[in-house]
Amino acid sequence: MTSDSNPLRYANQPDAEGRFGPYGGRFVAETLMSALADLESMYRRLSQDADFQREFDEDLANYVGRPSPLYEARRWSDEIGGARIFLKREDLNHTGAHKVNNTVGQALLAKHMGKPRVIAETGAGQHGVATATIAARLGLECHVFMGADDVQRQSLNVYRMKLLGATVVPVTAGSATLKDAMNEAMRDWVTNVDDTFYIIGTVAGPHPYPMLVRDFQCVIGREARAQCLERNGRLPDALVACVGGGSNAIGLFHPFLNDESVAMYGVEAGGLGVETGQHAAPLSAGTPGVLHGNRTYLMQDEDGQIIHTHSVSAGLDYPGVGPEHSWLKDIGRVNYVAANDDEALEAFHTLTRVEGIMPALESAHALAYAQKLAATMSPEQHIVVNLSGRGDKDILTVAALEGIEV
Amino acid sequence: MSRIAQTFTALREQGRKAVIPYIVAGDPLADITVDLMLSLVAAGADIIELGVPFSDPMSEGPVIQRGHERALEKGVRLRTVIETVAAFRKHNATTPVLLMGYANPVEHMGYEAFADRAHEAGVDALLTVDVPPEEVAGLNSALRRVGMDNIFLIAPTTPAARMDLIASEASGFIYYVSLKGVTGAGHLDQASVAEQVSEIRTHSDLPVCVGFGIKDGPSAAAVARVADGVVIGSALVQRLADVAQEGGDAMAIRDAAAALVGEIRQHVDGVTGSA
């Protein structure tokens, strides 16, 4: 396939209308269209601006703590007895996950656009915490929308956000989870569009969000690629990352897309099993549609209504996925697979006990699949897994699932 | 000429303005909608805007969100809304019906299939809140094929240059959103509405109707001074929900709808002095 070997093919996505093949675009109410146009033109200008890039890079180095290490999980790899597994340690970032790479970037955009107020949606609370953190640092007013059910389940992160000075707004509409929090954030933005910057936490939403969130997260893959070449003298054979909205996965994958020898696996939340219907795996079992400003694979019923999702991990519990992933699935560049709740929980325990690293339940989905994949490969082969966040936030969830009172 | 164009032509000849009530199909009772539509027409509605319930109505305030949730719980879906319009058409062949909703149910049915089924049922127009002109090509070609109108929103944040783009895709009428916000929010600023409506008229010859923020007769009358029509949504949906909540039967709900739309009709006609 000639077009596949064209190195510009991936770099040029999305097109001027924000489309990745048939996916993406701008499906929002008219009130927001000029705000999106302003954001896009500001972003296109600043992304070419050396001073802005230097400011972003300095924040990543000195505030986030980048570059994050590439750690070889030797004991775990030996136990599996297959490929050598390397972990990209996004869990060591300030605030404990990859989310902060993006919030640092978008908050700088907000500052340059003169917006004194930022809003965000959050599921497990990691993006909310990352947004509240950067808002505190820049002195911005911050409102975080969170499903009422998630407010109950993630009370520790709610308190963290409040300590950071953010207002946490519980959302009771719909299913009271992440998708409803995103609806409510959109409603707030429509109402306060003049003074408010909406910091979307993943590579979804209307153009230009999937593009700019990807660009801010690509630091993960650029570092990992350089670290592999420096340490091993060659590229890895496979990349594995979990996919909810898909920001950590696109951040790892994108800088490798033109490296045809590198296989890629995006791991969705299989919940109780994709065959049960109780999951959050739109790429594995959904169909294309329009939600939250973009066309992408969705979990929907036969009438185009969005259906409830299930995952042990609040951060993956979302019925859509970033539009670039939908396109990468259709063209076959990335393989999308699923790991179930129980597999993720087992991987959570395994990595904690064997490597002394407690992964977030989201990242544990990637680990669960990587373990299966590694077993089919040889010790001469290398896998890089994105360890997108740390598991401290999930301790109470894991304990409750196992009937332990902490 | 489409039913919507005919309606505005007739109104213009009479020197009157359009009254456009919005209800959510299947709300507040599952089987009330056809009768309710007939009551709205009898009370003076010129066009009926029928909300198509969606699981994620991002542009709606809490009142209409709850209307969508109630309708979904009763099993109301795009295909049943189309059937409702077909049932209404057995009693009324002249009042235009506009479906207002979100992209995904229409996408999922398929643009061509939607256009065929809606047109056959007697639907006159579609307003998809989350399909701006940049994304409308496929949908509009399907609607045009069957002669249905596509109603677009213009917002207070729409720059003049975009108005030309919207005007090039719109037909039927232009719907001016009187405030930044979701449905049912805030109070409209009459002076800014007047200014924006006259700006829109320099970009399009279509009638301009105004919605979002119209609550009662006086606020409708204020808007009718400058616009070709007024849309009343959240205030009506709330009134009907309240009557149902208090145990009112279908007749009580229809009476309440007729009373509010009748009041609006009177105030709007008072403005033009033709009632």
Q: Provide the number of structural domains found in chain B.
A: 1
Find, among A137, A127, A135, A75, the residue nearest to A101 by Cα. Answer: A127
**pLDDT tens digits, residue range A175-196?**
888 999 999 999 999 999 999 9
Task: Output the six-digit token pair for A55.
Answer: 């400011």
CA B234, B240, B243 angle in degrees (round to 5)?
Answer: 140
Rounded distance between C-alpha atoms, residue B178 and residue A388, angstroms: 44
Which residues, at least 6 apart from B17, have a Cβ–Cβ distance to it below 8 Å?
Answer: B11, B224, B227, B228, B229, B230, B268, B269, B271, B272
CA dihedral B115, B117, B122, B123 (to 10 degrees): -50
Rounded distance between C-alpha atoms, residue B156 and residue B168, angstroms: 19
Give contacts of B78 with chain A, Cβ < 8 Å: 303-304
Full 3-state SS string of chain A: CCHHHCCHHHHCCCCCCCEECCEEEEECCHHHHHHHHHHHHHHHHHCCCHHHHHHHHHHHHHHHCCCCCEEECHHHHHHHCCCEEEEEEHHHCHHHECHHHHHHHHHHHHHHCCCCEEEEEECCCHHHHHHHHHHHHHCCEEEEEEEHHHHHHCHHHHHHHHHCCCEEEEECCCCCCHHHHHHHHHHHHHHCCCCEEECCCCCCCCCCHHHHHHHHHCHHHHHHHHHHHHHHCCCCCEEEEECCCCHHHHHHHHHHCCCCCCEEEEEEEEECCHHHCCCECHHHHCEEEEECEEEEEECECCCCCECCCCCCCHHHCCCCCCHHHHHHHHCCCCEEEEEEHHHHHHHHHHHHHHHCCCECHHHHHHHHHHHHHHHCCCCCCEEEEEECEECHHHHHHHHHHCCCCC
Rounded distance between C-alpha atoms, residue B207 and residue A122, angstroms: 42
Domain range for B258: 3-272
For chain B, list the strands marked E by DSSP. Answer: 18-24, 48-51, 97-101, 125-128, 149-150, 152-154, 174-177, 208-211, 229-232
User: What is the CATH T-level fold of the domain A8-60+99-213, as seen in this structure?
Assistant: Rossmann fold (3.40.50)
Cβ atoms < 10 Å from Cβ of B272: 15
Q: Is the pLDDT of residue B208 over 80?
A: yes
* Minimal C-alpha gap between B117 and chain A (Å): 14
Domain boundaries, chain A: 8-60+99-213, 67-96+218-401
Rounded distance between C-alpha atoms, residue B123 and residue A314, angstroms: 41
Mean pLDDT of chain B: 95
What pLDDT, on a 0 to 100 scale, did the predictor assign at position A1? 38
Find, among B139, B138, B201, the residue nearest to B167 by Cα. Answer: B201
Q: What is the CATH number of the domain that holds B101?
A: 3.20.20.70
CATH of domain A67-96+218-401: 3.40.50.1100
**pLDDT tens digits, residue range A124-139?**
899 999 999 999 999 9
Q: How many residues does chain B have?
A: 275
- Among B residues 235-254, those touching chain A with beta carbons less than 8 Å apart: none
Place of tokens 């009142």: B63
Backbone angles phi, psi at A311, to 5 degrees: -155, 150
Q: Is the pLDDT of residue B115 over 50?
A: yes
**Across the interface, do A33 and B132 touch by the CB < 8 Å criterion?**
yes
**pLDDT tens digits, residue range A321-377?**
999 999 999 999 999 999 999 999 999 999 999 999 999 999 999 999 999 999 999
Rounded distance between C-alpha atoms, residue A88 and residue A278, angstroms: 30
What's the pLDDT band for A267 if we cut at 50, 70, 90?
very high
**Across the interface, do B181 and A190 touch by the CB < 8 Å criterion?**
yes
Give the mean model confidence (pLDDT) for residues B218-223: 94
Rounded distance between C-alpha atoms, residue B79 and residue B95, angstroms: 20
What's the pLDDT band for B179 if we cut at 50, 70, 90?
confident
Mean pLDDT of chain A: 95
**pLDDT tens digits, residue range B63-86?**
999 999 999 999 999 999 999 999
What's the pLDDT band for A155 if we cut at 50, 70, 90?
confident
Backbone angles phi, psi at A157, to 5 degrees: -70, -30
**Across the interface, do B132 and A173 touch by the CB < 8 Å criterion?**
no
Domains A8-60+99-213 and A67-96+218-401 share a fold: yes
Q: Is the pLDDT of residue A5 over 70?
A: no
**pLDDT tens digits, residue range A75-94?**
999 999 999 999 999 999 99
Is the preceding peptide bond at B28 cis, omega within 30 degrees of 0? yes
Rounded distance between C-alpha atoms, residue B38 and residue B136, angstroms: 32
What's the pLDDT band for B238 if we cut at 50, 70, 90?
very high
Q: Is the pLDDT of residue A2 over 80?
A: no
B73 Cβ under 8 Å from any chain A Cβ: no
Judge whether A388 counts as a catalytic residue. yes
**pLDDT tens digits, residue range B154-173?**
999 999 999 999 999 999 99
**Across the interface, do B135 and A186 touch by the CB < 8 Å criterion?**
no
**Contact, A197 vs A109, CB < 8 A?**
yes
Cα distances (Å, whole numbers) of residue A276 to A267, A270, A273, A306, A340: 17, 9, 5, 17, 11
Q: Is the pLDDT of residue B235 over 70?
A: yes
**pLDDT tens digits, residue range B23-42?**
999 999 999 999 999 999 99
Q: Is the pLDDT of residue B273 over 70?
A: no
What pLDDT, on a 0 to 100 scale, did the predictor assign at position B184? 79
**Across the interface, do A31 and B72 touch by the CB < 8 Å criterion?**
no
Give contacts of B180 with chain A, Cβ < 8 Å: 31, 190-194
- Looking at residue B178, the DSSP 8-state letter turns out to be -
Judge whether A179 counts as a catalytic residue. no
Give contacts of A186 with chain B, Cβ < 8 Å: 58-59
How large is the angle between the packed helices A99-112 and A30-46, nearest 10 degrees?
A: 100
Q: Is the pLDDT of residue B268 over 70?
A: yes
What's the pLDDT band for A10 if we cut at 50, 70, 90?
confident
Give the mean model confidence (pLDDT) for residues A59-83: 98
**Across the interface, do A304 and B104 touch by the CB < 8 Å criterion?**
yes
Judge whether A121 counts as a catalytic residue. yes
What pLDDT, on a 0 to 100 scale, did the predictor assign at position A314? 86
Rounded distance between C-alpha atoms, residue B181 and residue B62, angstroms: 12
Q: Is the pLDDT of residue A265 over 90?
A: yes
What pLDDT, on a 0 to 100 scale, did the predictor assign at position A406? 83
Find, among B137, B125, B175, the residue nearest to B114 by Cα. Answer: B125
Active-site residue, from A99, A115, A179, A393: A99
What pLDDT, on a 0 to 100 scale, did the predictor assign at position B272? 65
Cα distances (Å, whole numbers) of residue B199 to B6, B55, B167, B180, B194: 24, 35, 12, 17, 9
What's the pLDDT band for A8 if we cut at 50, 70, 90?
low
Chain A residues with a Cβ under 8 Å from any Cβ in chain B = 17, 25-35, 173-174, 179-180, 183, 186-187, 190-194, 287-293, 295, 298, 300, 302-307
**A196 vs A2 pLDDT, higher one:** A196
